Amino acid sequence: MTTYISTFSRRAVLRTAILSVLLAPLASSCSEEKLLNPSPLTSLADKDAFSNPDRVLAQVNGLYASVKSGQFLGGRYFVYVDVRGEEFLNVTNNGVTALQTWNHSNNSQSNEPTNLWNAGYLAINRINLFLEGLDANPTVVDAALANQYRAEARFLRALTYHYLVQLYARPFTQDNGASPGLPLRLKGEVGSGNNDLVRSTVAEVYRQIVEDLNFAEQNLPASYANATLNTTRAHKNTAIAIKTRVYLTMGQYANVVTEGNKIVPAAAPFRAATGVAHELQPNIATVFTNYTTTESILSMPFTSNDLPGTQNGLASYYVPIVGLGDYRLNPTGIVADAAFAATDARRNLIRSDFAGDQSRIRLNKFPTGPQHTDWAPVMRYSEVLLNLAEANARTGNTARALALLNAVRGRSNPAGVYASFAGSTDLVNAILTERRIEFLGEGLRSNDLLRLNQPLPAKGNLQAVPASASVYIWPIPQGEINVNKLVVPNP
């Protein structure tokens, strides 16, 4: 059954969720009576939620918890972006596990675009409320720490808008961002008074994304003493790394080079010289079992006591067990490409040893299977290297582009490194192919297609989707249309 949130219930859910975030830091110290009869939201935010440094920090942690919702960066976003591409085939026909996204049949009332939209905007509203509360209570934490917290919040807001704008709006590269983008909500909401808001253009949304990321870079710490935090909370290199992705999505390759050069040295082994010492791990399998290596720039963490939710975790979609998991690898996709050699170590992240059913090849990148405790990889250092490689190839520095490409490729396929290319077009194509191999199942494929204005390829019995088609992007959810009289649906 398709559902959406009505005007009343949308705001009720929003208020309840905001209240739960503000109450969460207080749960260990509040009396039962106070929890059963909480203060009104505004007075809670003013008097209690920002009353001491520990509660402020708890709210920062709550912002990360919000974006790692299973309906958003805890799993489903990455699945949706991947299965829109050609690398996976649906095997269960299960209507609640990305089937409509896989077969390009979502409409404005479909659950998948509705639930993800709600999760993204809920995270944005929590971030905005936190920023306003921090500004209203300037003496609770010292100025430098307050700016770090602002930077973390604005980083998460930029990340959220970047993910949303790629799904619900036309690619920036189609018309330099002139198309309708998203309602750009930058103020916290606790009622229905600000429902109506026009869609900013794609360019305006990206302008805000870059502004937030620049602020984040300037005010985030270079690193954390706790190695786990270097993977689970934003630091300077995190903001820079995400900027390489944002500018690549915008087709602004010179800016990718500028940002990438901040953290990628001129020569191999390309170990980051400032901040967290990011580098490739010798064995790619390591980053999917040890989630806090210096290759992992940002991941969403999970444990047996903190799971992404039923049918949200990455492993539940790709679990390499016949009879489980909703998607198998497409035998005519990247696994059949000559560039993906049989001796490539990344082949070890694929299972094809099912007796009597060799066609049912499965991704084995998320090894916890039904336990769903795999961390969701938001960004790895190998992506920074390939972002920078592509930007260099497109701006004429083919020697550096080739070296960066070979660093990633040679890690898993030493015998397959490239000596040279006939021209920059062949080099770019090799980099794009390498991205398909390296990030299989990590939520990049269809976004790469969209930024290049390429069709969503045919797969199984489905035809290709051209860039001009209405289903090339997701619809604005009907729930938003119902409560926001100024929003314009996608045609």
Confidence of residue 31 (pLDDT cuts 50, 70, 90): very low
pLDDT at residue 13 greater than cutoff 60:
no
Structure confidence at residue 62 (pLDDT):
95
Distance CA 166, CA 72 (A): 14
Distance CA 440, CA 335 (A): 10
Mean pLDDT of 403-430: 98
Candidates 188, 192, 187, 184; CA nearest to 9 is: 192
pLDDT at residue 76 greater than cutoff 60:
yes
* Lowest-pLDDT choice from 287-291, 360-364, 366-370, 416-420: 366-370
Structure tokens at 172: 């920036």
Structure confidence at residue 426 (pLDDT):
98
Distance CA 323, CA 366 (A): 17
CATH architecture assignment, domain 50-315+374-483: Alpha Horseshoe (1.25)
Structure confidence at residue 323 (pLDDT):
62
Left (φ > 0), alpha (ψ -120 to 50) or beta: where does 153 sit?
alpha
Mean pLDDT of 298-302: 97
- Average pLDDT over the chain, rounded to whole? 90
Higher local confidence (pLDDT), 407 or 3: 407
Distance CA 77, CA 65 (A): 15
Candidates 170, 175, 104; CA nearest to 464 is: 104
pLDDT tens-place string over residues 159-210: 999 999 999 999 999 999 999 999 999 999 988 788 999 999 999 999 999 9
Structure confidence at residue 193 (pLDDT):
83
pTM, full prediction: 0.91
Structure tokens at 12: 């009720």
Residue 275 DSSP SS3: coil
State the number of CA atoms in the 13 A half-sphere of 119 facing the CB. 24
CB count within 10 Å of CB 320 equals: 24
Tokens 């706790």 belong to: 226
Structure confidence at residue 44 (pLDDT):
46
Range ranked top by mean pLDDT from 9-18, 352-361, 433-442: 433-442
Higher local confidence (pLDDT), 375 or 194: 375
Residue 380 phi, psi (nearest 5): -115, 160
Higher local confidence (pLDDT), 26 or 444: 444
pLDDT at residue 38 greater than cutoff 50:
no
pLDDT tens-place string over residues 215-253: 999 999 999 999 999 999 999 999 999 999 999 999 999
Domain range list for the chain: 50-315+374-483
Structure confidence at residue 357 (pLDDT):
58
Confidence of residue 367 (pLDDT cuts 50, 70, 90): confident
Mean pLDDT of 51-55: 94
Structure confidence at residue 3 (pLDDT):
31
